[in-house]
Amino acid sequence: MPGLCPASRRPHLVIAALAALLLAAWTTPARADGQSSPMSFTLVATGPGGLFSGILAEGVIESDTPAIFKQFLAAGLPPVIRGSKVFLLSPGGDLQAGMALGRAIRAAGLATEVGLPGQPEGNIPSSLFGQPGGNASIPILGPDTRSYCASACTFAFLGGIARSAAPGSIYAVHRFFLAHVKPGTITLTDPTAILRQGQITAGDLVAYIHAMGVSPELYKLMTEGNRNKTVDLTQAEMATLRVTTHEVVSAHMLYPPNGLPILVIRDENGGIQYGRMDLFCTFHHQLLDRAYFGAVSSVPAAPAVTLKIIPAAGGQPLEASVPPGSYNVGALAGGRLPIDVYIPPGPIFRAVQDAAGIVITAVGPGLSIGQVPISDQVGGGALSIPPGVQSRLAALVRGC
């Protein structure tokens, strides 16, 4: 622990004290449960019927946590897909590692939640979700439950492309401060260097908050806390500061001068588009669904493509493999790859008219995060395709 400076060095003491409020050695506030284990990552069931996979991130964020998280993703544990949730339970830890973890979450296209996945509250036949197994059953999961995310964890949380907090959860920020100084770098006898390093780190924090699409007012709130006191944000404050996001499924028609009308459906959260599909009828009266895949590194010759329709009325989703002759892979541009899927007449064609969600998945070299396949989805998650969009979609389908 740094000692007090003599009174004769009071000006330096003031500078060092100010710098101590800015330096990036982030330590965590005390917790009642004494949680102190390094952060670990576990695959958990989530979503309707527990059929989707999320990631529970629990523990203290340390310097190697971002690398461990990337290794976890690279291990290829499906079906973690773009938009899957990372559930956070953490008192904080290393500030720089917290931001690095947030960047890794954003790069993987994952959502974040201060919450824990719901617990089983009963069972239903797996056949209702189109799962094999005869008389097998799957759990009905209750609502997500409250959790705790403080200090450096709050910055990891900001990496989610969609961000939410379960009711009763705590999201606690505080001022970062001098906890230790590495030998041979900066010493308390060099307060100017400490202040300079603190200013650099403060700039990094503000830039990170801006890059994640969050209001810079969050940084101001941080300064209201101190080493032993956090500022707990309310749900309303988190929404106002864009710490949490709001999902929007919208649609509009495009009328190309030399082509047929196109219905563009977008699924956005926090101003970030993570799902887009263009639907239109071809001159041969076929319904075509153009999906856009992000984070693509190369174009596979013949990916395996599946189409899934989540019905608005509930019940069993319709899912089918798309044969090679019924899709076309476009040109890669800006890391985004369009794939056109022709939807033939039949049950899926009819189901599109009142779909709550549409999911297209493509599996092949370059179409994965680690070994996790990527997909394009509009609706069917926390928010369905709204009735206004469904009516446009139904009119388009009838026109084919």
**Residue type at 315?**
G
Q: Does the residue 329 lie in any domain? A: yes
For residue 372, the tally of other CB atoms under 10 A from its CB is 23
Do the beta carbons of residue 93 and residue 65 sit within 8 Å?
yes
**The domain containing residue 36 runs over which residues?**
26-175+212-240
One domain, residues 368 and 297: yes
One domain, residues 253 and 235: no
Cα–Cα distance, 147 to 168 (Å, whole number)? 8
Q: Does the residue 204 lie in any domain? A: no
List the beta bridge partners of residue 339.
Answer: 291, 329
Q: Does the residue 361 lie in any domain? A: yes
Cα–Cα distance, 157 to 176 (Å, whole number)? 17
Cα–Cα distance, 252 to 278 (Å, whole number)? 10
Do the beta carbons of residue 392 and residue 251 sit within 8 Å?
yes
Per the structure, how many domains does the chain have?
2
| pLDDT of the residue at 113 | 93
Q: Which of 222, 240, 258 is the last residue of a domain?
A: 240
The residue with tokens 């409250």 is 146
One domain, residues 30 and 62: yes
CATH number, residue 269: 2.60.40.1880
Which residues fall within 8 angstroms of residue 113, CB to CB, at 6 or more apart?
Answer: 85, 86, 87, 88, 144, 147, 160, 163, 164, 165, 166
Q: Compute the half-sphere exposure of residue 218: CA atoms within 13 Å on the CB side of its CA.
A: 29
CATH number, residue 104: 3.90.226
Do the beta carbons of residue 97 and residue 390 sit within 8 Å?
no
Give the ranges where 270-386 is alpha helix by DSSP (H). Answer: 347-352
One domain, residues 297 and 384: yes
Cα–Cα distance, 283 to 225 (Å, whole number)? 63
Q: Is the pTM of this model over 0.75?
A: no
One domain, residues 302 and 328: yes
List the beta bridge partners of residue 375.
Answer: 361
Q: Compute the half-sphere exposure of residue 274: CA atoms within 13 Å on the CB side of its CA.
A: 27
Which residues fall within 8 angstroms of residue 300, CB to CB, at 6 or more apart?
Answer: 329, 362, 364, 365, 366, 367
335: left (phi over 0), alpha (psi -120 to 50) or beta: left
| pLDDT of the residue at 49 | 42
Residue 189, helix vs strand vs coil? coil
Residue 109, helix vs strand vs coil? coil
pLDDT per position in the chain (400 positions), as tens? 333 232 333 333 333 333 333 333 334 333 334 457 999 998 887 654 444 568 899 999 999 999 999 998 887 655 566 678 899 999 999 989 999 999 999 988 888 999 988 765 555 444 433 334 444 444 455 567 889 999 899 999 999 988 999 889 999 987 665 443 344 444 545 666 666 666 666 778 888 988 888 888 888 778 765 656 778 899 999 988 889 988 788 888 888 887 788 999 988 876 667 689 999 988 777 888 998 887 677 787 788 898 988 887 767 788 889 998 899 999 988 778 899 999 877 777 888 888 888 989 888 877 765 445 678 888 876 677 888 888 888 888 887 8
One domain, residues 217 and 305: no
Sheet with 52-58, strands from edge to edge, namely 40-46, 52-58, 85-89, 111-114, 163-165
Q: Does the residue 207 lie in any domain? A: no
Q: Does the residue 223 lie in any domain? A: yes
